[in-house]
A = this chain, B = another copy of it.
Amino acid sequence: MSHKDQPWFKREGLALLTDLYELTMCAGQLGEGRADRRVSFNYFFRSLPPNSGFAVTAGLDPFLDYLENLRFTEDDIAYLRSLNMFKEEFLDYLKSFRPEVNVSAIAEGSLVFPYEPIVQVEGTILETQLNETALLNIMNYQTLIATKAARIYLAANGEPIMEFGLRRAHGPDGGVSGARAAYIGGCSATSNVLAGAVYGIPVAGTHAHSWVMSFGSELEAFRAFGRQFPKRCVMLVDTYDTIKSGVPNAIAAFKEMHAQGNFVRPAIRLDSGDLAKLSKEAYALMRSAGFDDPMIVASNELNEDLIADLKRQGAKINAWGVGTQLITSADCPALGGVYKLVSILDNGEWTPRVKVSSNVEKATDPARKQVLRYYGADGAPLGDVMYQMEEGWPEMGPILGRKRNQPYRTSRLEGAVRSEPLLETVMENGKRLRATEAVADIRTRALAQMAAFPEEFKRLRNPEIYKVMLSDSLGELKERLLANPEEF
């Protein structure tokens, strides 16, 4: 059995990965004779992580894996029975339960924005409710980490980024799922071997301080490492004293290798101290030793801000190892994505619903949707417009719509020459319509979209706000529903 076929990574056996209230609501709907009512739910988030101009969506394929494999085992049923909360009628229902939902979604690796329906799930109230928690759990985390990785990718400006976060990730799967998302967002490799095996992500890494400490001397440790990995060895130079001991010993070891005819690229890693100053000093020493193009890897609590600042100070670093700050998205460790009911099928007709709030910004956007992305003559995205799925939409030209948080006010996009519907149907009646995408292809999509978006949305601080508006008809509907949310 290959790694990616293991039950966990196929998201099998996770029927109970849900908040209890999803089950009580499902049991309640069944008890009320309402379990077969068809509804539509949207997954979206309300705000981007701080200072981000966009998010990179990730986690769709693992969520579809979960849906395809969603069934209640005998053990699941026995456990639920032991809670003394559920009637046998409901447990019987679960025994033969198979989700037959329709799912449309924005492709993984796409740039997405607040309030856009990233995943739209339709089916009976029971089956759509049952997957809520797992959808949120999988998509929130992976989208969060892909977004953080994208910021680090922008800061590193084309230089390779290695994801080193496994030891600080939130448990084993936090590390593996996180490595997947980090790669999608722009990392070039991971230290996490299991993520490499499961998702085909390139793996990277050399040695730790303990390697050096286990030898009689630092030079002896470097010599031994060069002997064992003659094709690629990065010497960690800060076990004792980076400039007085580590770099000179690494230079000596590489010189010996070169003298023996092995012209491996001299490479060191700095893991403590002032990375700007030390990298410049190390670079000067290595250049003086006759090494034209040394590789200098830096690690130690790096994030996009520190990378950008080290570059500003002219640090001589050309590869970046990023761990804790990436794998936990340390400055914003959760994406607040939610899953909200947007429409109910009543007597054969879809009836849009809205959840009001004392804060109008938080009110949901009603109706089953399609999202169109419009592009200008220069090929760059101009803005996104949410439409009711049933309405038509112009493919180009000036687009007149409404502001989503003030639906009584108009808004417009000018100069669109091309458009693209973002939501595509990926599952029908519980069956996937396409094969699992290779993670490398999803990453390629993310990098291409990042390249296509204008600079103003990619600034690391205070980016411009990308325009997302409602179609005129959706805006009108929302305005009407907010005035009387219980009219339906």
- On A, residues with C-beta under 8 Å from B are 1-3, 6-8, 11, 13-14, 16-25, 27-29, 31-32, 34, 37, 39, 41, 75-76, 79-80, 83, 85, 125, 129, 132-134, 136-138, 140-142, 164, 166-178, 191-194, 196-197, 203-211, 213-214, 216-218, 224-225, 227-229, 239-241, 272-273, 324, 328-330, 333-337, 340-341, 344, 353, 355-358, 485-486
Contacts and interface: CB of A to CB of B under 8 A. Distances in A.
A6 B328 CA distance: 27
Contact of A210 (B129, B208, B229): B129
Contacts of A214: 29, 34, 37, 39, 125, 341, 344
A326 to B, nearest CB: 11
A11 B334 contact: no
A45 B278 CA distance: 26
Contacts of A336: 168, 324
* 10 tightest Cβ-Cβ pairs between the two chains A and B: A170-B170, A173-B173, A20-B205, A21-B205, A136-B167, A170-B174, A333-B333, A328-B333, A28-B228, A16-B194
B207 A25 contact: yes
Given A17-B194, A137-B175, A213-B353, A229 B85 contact: yes
Contact of A171 (B3, B141, B341): B141
Given A21-B205, A196-B79, A486-B217, A357 B272 contact: yes
A168 B213 CA distance: 40
B328 A225 contact: no
B168 A334 contact: yes
A23 B208 CA distance: 11
A19 B340 contact: no
Contacts of A205: 19-21, 24
Contacts of A41: 210
What is the copy number of this chain in the assembly? 2
A382 to B, nearest CB: 33
Contacts of A24: 205-207, 228-229
A40 B322 CA distance: 28
Nearest to A236: B21
B3 A172 contact: no
Given A132-B167, A141-B171, A328-B333, 6 more contacts: A17-B175, A24-B207, A25-B210, A140-B168, A170-B178, A273-B358
A178 B168 contact: no
Contacts of A177: 170-171
A129 B228 CA distance: 17
A80 B76 CA distance: 36
Contacts of A334: 168, 324, 328, 330
B192 A17 contact: yes
Nearest to A2: B75
A358 B324 CA distance: 22
A12 to B, nearest CB: 10
A351 B404 CA distance: 68
B355 A14 contact: no
Nearest to A13: B6
A69 B213 CA distance: 29
22 contacts: A3-B79, A6-B13, A7-B8, A11-B172, A20-B192, A24-B228, A25-B210, A31-B227, A75-B197, A76-B197, A83-B196, A136-B167, A137-B168, A140-B168, A167-B337, A171-B176, A171-B177, A172-B173, A173-B174, A241-B358, A273-B358, A328-B328
Contacts of A171: 137-138, 141-142, 170-171, 173-174, 176-178
A40 to B, nearest CB: 11
Given A28-B229, A208-B25, A170 B328 contact: yes
Most buried by B among A18, A37, A239, A485: A18
A460 B211 CA distance: 40
A333 B17 CA distance: 22
Contacts of A485: 240
B25 A211 contact: yes
A75 B41 CA distance: 40
A192 B21 contact: no
A352 to B, nearest CB: 11
B174 A141 contact: yes
A208 B339 CA distance: 11
Contacts of A75: 1-3, 197
A400 to B, nearest CB: 30
Contact of A27 (B39, B138, B228): B228
A14 B330 CA distance: 26
A219 to B, nearest CB: 11
